Structure 1
Amino acid sequence: MWERVIVHADLNHCYAQIEEMMYPELRQVPMAVGGDEQSRHGIILAKNDLAYEYGIKTGESLREAYRKCPDLLIIEPHYDDYLYYTEEVKNIYREYSDKVENFGLDEAWIDLTASQGLFGGNPVEIVREIQERIYKELGLAVSMGVSFNKVFAKLGSDFNKKMGLTVISQKNYKNVVFPLPVDELFYVGKATAAKLKEKSIYTIGDIAYSRQEYLKSFLGKHGEMIWRFANGLDVSDVTLLEYENRPKSIGNGVTAPHDLSTFEEAKNVLRVLVESVASRLKERELRGSVITIGMRDHELHSFTRQRKIDVATNISSEIMQTVELLLKENCMSQYSGYLDRPYRSMSVKVSQLEEDIPQVQLSLFTDESQRQKEKKLDLVIDEIRKRFGYEKIKRCCLNIHQELTSFNPKEEHIIHPESWFKSS
C-alpha cells in the first residue's frame, strides 16, 4: 500500500461532453458550447473532439472559430445540467473517500490514502474502478492522475485525456515530470514562465535543480513555492467534505452588449454587479474591507484599481460608494459625464474578508443604525428576488439603461471571478 495516495480527476471538455452525453448525435459533428455573440459573450466555452481537429480553442471568439470551421455547431450553455451532472460525478468520488476537494465544476482532488484497505489495497485499481463506474453510470469520461501529492496528481490527469490514467510515483517522478516545460507546473502562469525563460529555465527539472534562493531572488516567495512543487514537496491536504475554505475574495464581472462611453452607463452596470457581490457576501456571512474594480476597454486593455475602507462591509450602498469613487478617479474624461475611453467589460471584487459579526467597537464617523437599515433593505430585496424572481424588484435608476442592466449576474452566470484580476 502507498504511504499517500492523491488523485486528481478531470472531466475533460466538461460542457461539451455533457451535451454529447445528453444528445449523442452531437458526437457526429464539430460542436462547441459558446456564448451569445450578439450580446458580446461570443466565446468558445468548450468543444468536442471534431471541433478540436479544426484547431478550435477554448476562449477564442465565435468569429475566429467559424473562420476555422464554417460548419461548426454552437450550442448555448445549459448550466443547470452541468451543475447537476458534475455533482453526480463527485457523489461517486465521495463513495470512496471523505476527502474530496472541488477545483471548479469539472475537477477535484481525492485522497484515497485511508481508503486503500477498504477497496482492495491497490490504488491504481481503485482509480480505474471509479473511472469505469462514472462512464457506465453517467456516460462521462474522466481522466485521472495518481500521485503522492496534489501538484503531481494534477499533472498526471493532463497527460492522457478521455479515460487516461497516469501514475506519478516517488520512483518515476523525475523521469515523468522533469522534462515538461515550466508552464505545465501548477501556479506557473504566462508572466512567471516568461521570467523563468529569461533566466534559461525551461523545464520543471530546471526549476527543481535551481537553488531555491536564486528563484526567490527574482520571483519572491512564489519562487520558493514552485521550487517545492517541482521537487515533489507539496504536502497540502485534500480538504474534508465538511470543511469549506473561506474564499479570499468574492467578485463578479460582465461584458456589456455595447461599449460604454458615459459615466452613468458604467455606474449602472457596476451597480448590478455590486448588488450581486453584496448578496453573495451576506449569504456566506462575510464582509470585506478592500474593494476593487476591473476595467477592460474596447481594445481589450485591462487594469484594476482598489481602495481599502475603514469598516468592513457587505452592504451594497457602501460598496457602491467606493466603486463609484474609483470609477470617477480612474476612468472619467475631462469632459463631464463621459469616460476617458470606451469600455467593453467591467468587474467588482471585495477582498480582505472576515466573518460578519456585530461591530464590537463603533466608529465615531459611522452611523451604525443607518448601516443596519441599509443592510436590512438589501436582505429584503434579496428575499423578494429569491421568492418571486430577479426582475420583480430593482432600483428605478436601472430602468434608464435597460439594455445594459437587464441581466442577473448572481443566478444566470457561472462566474470565475479571480480570472478578472489575474496578471500572471
Structure 2
Amino acid sequence: MSTQPSRTVFLVDMQSFFANIEKLEKPALEDHPVVVAGDPEIRSGVILAACPLAKKWGVKTAEALWEAENKCPYLVVIKPRMQLYLDISVNIAASLESFTDEVEPYSIDEIFVEMTNVLSGVGVTAEEAADIVITKIYRETGMVARVGVGPNKVMAKMACDHFAKKQPDGIFHLHENNLQEKLWPRPVGDMFGVGTRMERHFHDMGIRTIGQLARTNLSDLQKRWGINGELLYWTAHGWDESPVTIDTHIRRKAIGHHMTLPRDYRSWEEIKVVLMELSEEVARRVRANRYLGTTVTAGARGHDFFNQPSGFHRQVKLPDPTNDGHVIFEAVEQLFLTHWNRDPVRSLGVSLDGLTTDEARQMSLFAPDHEREELNHTVDHLKNKHGDAAVLRASSLTAGGQALLRAQKLGGHYK
C-alpha cells in the first residue's frame, strides 16, 4: 500500500447526549441520576442514555430499565424526545462547519470533521484545536464533547471510543507513533469493524488482540475473508483512506427497518402485518434515496434459550432490482415461512441490499408496471406532506399492526 497522506481528522462525540440534553432542559435534575429510556410499560423499556451520575450507580446503556432501577432506586426516567435531540445534533454539526465544510455526521451524537487544511492555516496543534471545538460546543449548547484525533476516520473513532472518553480534558490523539503502545494491546473486539461474530472467528484463530491481528499474515486473512480480511488487517495498522464528506454517510449498501414488538407475536396473521409495514417503510426510504435493491433480508428474534437466541436471519436475491414494497414483502414472506420455527417472535427486521441508482433500471415483463410506480410515488408524496399515518393499509388497524404507533415516533422513539 502506498504512503498514507498526512491528515488530521476529529471524531467529536457528545457525552451522554440524550440524558444531558434532558438535564439541561430541566435544571432541577442537575444533581439527579437521569436516564432516557423507552416506555417502561412495554418491552422497549431499554436504557438509551445514562448521565454520568447514573453511570456511577452501574447503570449501562442498552440494559433493561428494570435492571437499571434495581441498581439505582433514585433513578429519574425520562421518555426520549428524538426530534429535540436531532435538532440539537444538526445545530452542533452546523456550528462545526464554521471550521470547515468537511463535516460528516456519523450518528446522532458523533460527527467527523476533517481538520487537515484548517490546522495548516491557523498555527495551532490538533490538541489545541480540539480544545477549541469542545469549548465552542459547550458555550453554544451546554453539551460536553469529547474529541478523538487521528490521521484518518478509523483512528479518530478508536481514539475517541477507547481513550478520549477517559481523559480529563476529553481529548486523545492516536497516531502512528503511539499506535503499537496504545491500540495493539487492546482486545481485537475493540477494533473498529470487528463485531461479535468476527471476534469469535479471530479467537478461533488464536487472535486475541489488535496487535496479534496486525502481525497476522495478510494472505491468510485474504484467503479466509477476501477484501474484508484485508480491510481489517489495514485497520489494525491504522490505515484508512475514506474521506470525510457528507456523501460517504449518504451512500449505503443497504436500507432496512427493525423493530421490537410490544408483546410476543405468535400467529402468522399478526406477524405478516408488521412484515408488510416494514417492507413498505423500507421501499419508501429506498425510493426517497433514488435507489433500487437486488437482495431482500429478513430476520426474526425470539426468546433466549441457554444464552442462545431463537430466530433467524436470511436473505434472497431478486430476479430484478426493485424499490416496491409489495415485491419486497413477497420475498420476506417466502423467507419467513421457510425459516420460522413457529416460536414466539419478539422482534422483526427487513432490509433491501445491493443498492444501485434507480437510473439503472432495466425494463422487465415482471417488474412493477408504470401505474404501480405512480401509485407508490403518490403515497410517498401524501406521507411526506401529511405524515406517515396519512395512508395506511386496513391491516395496520388490526391488533397486530404497528404502523400507526410508529408514525408517532422518530427513529423508533417518541418525538
Task: Tell me what 2:404 maps to.
Answer: 406
Q: Does 1:95 align with 2:93?
A: no
Task: Tell me what 2:7 maps to.
Answer: 4
Question: Residues 180-231 of structure 1: CA distance to partner in whole angstroms, max 9, x if unpaired?
Answer: 2222211122222233334443322222233223444555543322221122
Residues 208-247 of structure 1: pairs in structure 2 closer than 5 A: 208-216=214-222, 218-239=224-245, 241=246, 245-247=250-252
Task: Tell me what 1:138 maps to.
Answer: 141
Cα displacement (A) at 1:17: 1.9
CA distance in 2, matches of 1:219, 1:298: 31
AA partner of residue 271 (structure 2): A
Task: Tell me what 2:364 maps to.
Answer: 363
CA distance in 2, matches of 1:56, 1:156: 24
Cα displacement (A) at 1:391: 3.0
Flag the 1:103–1:272 CA change in 2: closer, same or farther, 3 A.
same
Task: Tell me what 1:188 maps to.
Answer: 194
TM-score, normalised via structure 1 length: 0.87
Q: Does 1:58 align with 2:61?
A: yes
Cα displacement (A) at 1:374: 1.9
AA partner of residue 112 (structure 1): M
Flag the 1:114–1:326 CA change in 2: closer, same or farther, 3 A.
same
Cα displacement (A) at 1:358: 7.2
Flag the 1:291–1:21 CA change in 2: closer, same or farther, 3 A.
same
Task: Tell me what 1:128 maps to.
Answer: 131
Question: Residues 354-400 of structure 1: CA distance to partner in whole angstroms, max 9, x if unpaired?
Answer: 1113744x324x2x5x6222222222222223333333432222223
> Gapped runs of 5+ residues in structure 2?
none
Aligned residues: 402
AA partner of residue 373 (structure 2): K
Residues 344-383 of structure 1: pairs in structure 2 closer than 5 A: 344-357=346-359, 359-360=361-362, 362-364=363-365, 366=366, 371-383=369-381
Aligned partner of residue 409 in structure 2, secondary structure: coil
Q: Does 1:109 align with 2:109?
A: no
AA partner of residue 364 (structure 2): S
Task: Tell me what 1:79 maps to.
Answer: 82
CA distance in 2, matches of 1:390, 1:195: 42
Aligned partner of residue 91 in structure 1, secondary structure: helix
AA partner of residue 306 (structure 1): Q
Greater mean alpha carbon deviation, residues 69-78 or residues 374-383: 374-383
Q: 8 Å contact 2:389–2:403 — kept in the other structure?
A: no
Aligned partner of residue 351 in structure 2, secondary structure: strand
Flag the 1:25–1:302 CA change in 2: closer, same or farther, 3 A.
farther
Measured on the aligned residues, the alpha-carbon RMSD in Å equals: 2.4
Task: Tell me what 1:393 maps to.
Answer: 391
Cα displacement (A) at 1:82: 0.6
Greater mean alpha carbon deviation, residues 189-198 or residues 136-145: 189-198
> Gapped runs of 5+ residues in structure 1?
333-339, 417-424
Q: 8 Å contact 2:274–2:401 — kept in the other structure?
A: no
Q: 8 Å contact 1:259–1:298 — kept in the other structure?
A: no
Percentage of matched positions with identical amino acids: 31
AA partner of residue 18 (structure 1): I
Flag the 1:398–1:315 CA change in 2: closer, same or farther, 3 A.
same
Match of 2:294 among 286, 289, 304: 289
TM-score, normalised via structure 2 length: 0.89
Cα displacement (A) at 1:163: 4.5
Flag the 1:132–1:381 CA change in 2: closer, same or farther, 3 A.
same
Q: 8 Å contact 1:12–1:142 — kept in the other structure?
A: yes
Q: Does 1:31 align with 2:34?
A: yes
Residues 165-204 of structure 1: pairs in structure 2 closer than 5 A: 165-204=171-210
Task: Tell me what 1:308 maps to.
Answer: 317
